[in-house]
Amino acid sequence: MNKSVRKIIKDRSNGRCYYCGEQLDRLFHMDHFFPKNKKHWLKNEKLMMKTFENGNCPINLTDIDDLRNMVPSCPRCNFWKSTLLVSAFRGSISNIVGKLLKYNNKFNMAVSYNMVHISHDSLVFYFENDEMKYKHYEIFNS
Ligand SMILES: [Zn+2]
């Protein structure tokens, strides 16, 4: 993918990771918002539909590499999301604290001594913030 296309994609989210919102450097990844593994997302079609307010997926299944489906991501979020739909990615991240509390004694120690504050707010991706959600909606409906 050439540099100017990468810049257009990066600028869609103000140069930040589409998911965590971290400032991206030049080594950012291009993530398929709807994963390339079609088998996986057909299986999760209901979850996929929830992603859009109007309930319609604007991207043709045969056109997964459509630029509208490409979002900028930091390497960490891109690897973690892997072939997951956003809904499953959210679930996977949401489970992290529970697993740490269950299995990680050092984490529990840090919590006990108020070195870590656990938020009970639901996870909001960067693209879901007040400014970005309209941009996101426009891109996928253009
Ligand atoms: Zn990220």
Confidence of residue 23 (pLDDT cuts 50, 70, 90): very high
Helix (H) or strand (E) holding 96: helix 96-103
Ligand 1 centroid distance, CA of 80 (Å): 9
Considering only CA atoms, which of 121, 133, 99, 141 is closest in space to residue 18?
133
Tens-place pLDDT, residues 82-118: 988 888 899 999 999 999 999 999 999 999 999 999 9
Q: What's the Cα-to-Cα distance from 118 to each of 20, 90, 125, rounded to whole Å?
A: 17, 17, 17
Domain boundaries along the sequence of the chain = 3-85+124-140
Ligand 1 centroid distance, CA of 75 (Å): 7
Ligand 1 centroid distance, CA of 19 (Å): 5
- Tokens read off for 91: 């679930």
Look at residue 59 in the predicted model and tell me its pLDDT.
57
Look at residue 31 in the predicted model and tell me its pLDDT.
94
Q: What's the Cα-to-Cα distance from 16 to each of 21, 27, 29, rounded to whole Å?
A: 5, 12, 11
- Tokens read off for 99: 């697993």
The residue-averaged pLDDT of 14-31 equals 96
Tens-place pLDDT, residues 28-80: 999 998 887 765 655 555 555 555 444 445 555 556 778 888 999 999 999 99
Ligand 1 centroid distance, CA of 72 (Å): 9
Give the predicted TM-score (pTM) of the model. 0.82
